[in-house]
């Protein structure tokens, strides 16, 4: 019994020693953490940025203090390490830019807060104009001698694979169709301005029939409704560009004459132009021509019809 009691007493003694060691260890760690926190609090400083009127925290303000840079958090706090003889620069989109010298930085550290009044910026209306100089037409048709002898502008468009035409009369008045779009769905302009429209509800004289090819230089085709340079057109825009004026330092006379013959239909086509140019004027006259030749067979048919009318009369 005596031996057992001694062992029990020794066990309790050792447990007490271990308990004291654990308490000392925990106390040592706590003291070290407190010292580290104290040292960190002494080496760093915090200033809270607040709105002067609403007292709300200023979030997202940037600051620069020596080599340190940072942004205020959602509560308006900025954290930095104080140094001697350094100024702090701050900036915010709603509060502008401001700067604290060394004395002001120390004062703000003691106050723990800084109040800033928001700036009122008056914005005037701004007009943004986007220029697209590289906006080229989807298709361009150059006019040669034969195209200038055509009496209808749509007859030239009919030569392109993307176009077809509706014939309104026997030999005159073609209404273009471009990728299935026609009539008012196409914007027909001359030099970027609308100069002709249909002459009657049945479109007997389409807008393209009013365009004289012999005074045109080329034809531009802009596809789709997004080509808004010359107005709206759901299917596209067809721009007839006229020839440039001729100006010379000295008075000059210019002109041209073209003619052609079509065996299909016995048609004689011609066109001509004559002009007088100078330093500040250009006067030109042009005339397209189309004449159907009457063959011998056609003359006999006409003569026989007239003879029958006279006999019956």
Residue 166 has pLDDT above 90, yes or no: no
Bridge partners of residue 113, in order along the sequence:
48
CATH (residue range 139-242): 2.170.130.10
Averaged pLDDT for residues 227-238: 80
pLDDT tens across 59-69, in order? 999 999 988 89
**CA-to-CA distance for 190 and 238, rounded, in angstroms?**
8
**What is the model's pTM?**
0.47
Give the residue from 158, 136, 156, 160 showing the smallest Cα distance to 144: 156
pLDDT tens across 280-299, in order? 877 877 777 666 555 545 44
Tell me the Cα Rg of the chain. Answer: 47
Residue 90 has pLDDT above 90, yes or no: yes
Kindly give the residue spans of alpha helices, DSSP state H, lying in the chain: 2-43, 102-111, 145-148, 153-157, 296-312
Q: What is the pLDDT of residue 307?
A: 42
Tell me the C-alpha to C-alpha distance, in Å, between residue 275 and each of 91, 219, 281.
Answer: 70, 23, 10
pLDDT tens across 246-255, in order? 788 888 888 8
Whether 247 and 279 have beta carbons less than 8 Å apart is answered as yes
pLDDT tens across 266-280, in order? 777 788 788 888 888
* Dihedral angle computed from the Cα positions of residues 30, 32, 38 and 41, in that order, rounded to the nearest 10 degrees: -100
Structure letter (DSSP) for residue 233: -
Residue 240 has pLDDT above 80, yes or no: yes
Least confident segment among 113-122, 185-194, 222-231, 301-310: 301-310
Q: Where are the beta strands (DSSP E) in 61-213?
A: 62-65, 68-71, 77-80, 88-92, 96-100, 113-116, 139-142, 163-167, 174-178, 181-182, 186-190
Residue 311 has pLDDT above 70, yes or no: no
Residue 20 has pLDDT above 80, yes or no: no
Whether 233 and 227 have beta carbons less than 8 Å apart is answered as yes
Q: What is the pLDDT of residue 238?
A: 87
Specify the pairing of strand 267-277 against strand 282-292.
antiparallel
**CA-to-CA distance for 223 and 234, rounded, in angstroms?**
9
User: Whats the size of the chain, residue-wise?
Assistant: 313
CATH classification (class only), 44-116: mainly beta
């Amino acid at each position: 019994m005596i031996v057992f009691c001694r062992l029990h007493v020794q066990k309790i003694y050792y447990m007490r020693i271990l308990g004291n060691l654990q308490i000392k260890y925990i106390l040592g760690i706590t003291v070290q953490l407190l010292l580290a926190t104290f040292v960190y609090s002494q080496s760093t400083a915090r200033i809270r940025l607040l709105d002067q009127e609403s007292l709300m925290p200023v979030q997202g303000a940037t600051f620069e203090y020596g080599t340190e840079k940072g942004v205020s958090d959602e509560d308006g706090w900025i954290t930095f390490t104080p140094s001697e003889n350094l100024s702090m620069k701050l900036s915010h989109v709603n509060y502008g830019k401001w700067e604290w010298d060394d004395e002001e930085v120390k004062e703000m550290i003691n106050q723990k807060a800084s109040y800033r009044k928001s700036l009122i910026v008056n914005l005037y209306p701004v007009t943004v104009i986007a220029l697209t100089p590289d906006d080229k037409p989807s298709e361009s048709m150059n006019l040669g001698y034969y195209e200038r002898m055509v009496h209808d502008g749509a007859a030239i468009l009919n030569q392109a694979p993307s176009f077809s035409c509706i014939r309104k009369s026997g030999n005159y008045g073609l209404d273009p169709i471009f990728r299935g779009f026609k009539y008012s769905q196409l914007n027909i302009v001359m030099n970027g301005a609308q100069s002709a429209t249909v002459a009657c509800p049945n479109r007997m004289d389409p807008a393209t029939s009013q365009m004289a090819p012999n005074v045109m230089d080329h034809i531009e085709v802009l596809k789709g409704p997004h080509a808004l340079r010359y107005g709206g057109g759901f299917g596209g825009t067809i721009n007839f560009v006229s020839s440039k004026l001729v100006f010379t330092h000295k008075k000059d006379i210019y002109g041209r004459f073209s003619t052609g013959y079509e065996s299909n239909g016995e048609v004689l086509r011609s066109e001509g132009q004559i002009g007088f140019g100078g330093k500040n004027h250009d006067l030109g006259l042009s005339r397209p021509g189309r004449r159907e030749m009457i063959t011998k067979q056609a003359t006999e048919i006409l003569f026989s019809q007239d003879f029958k009318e006279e006999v019956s009369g």
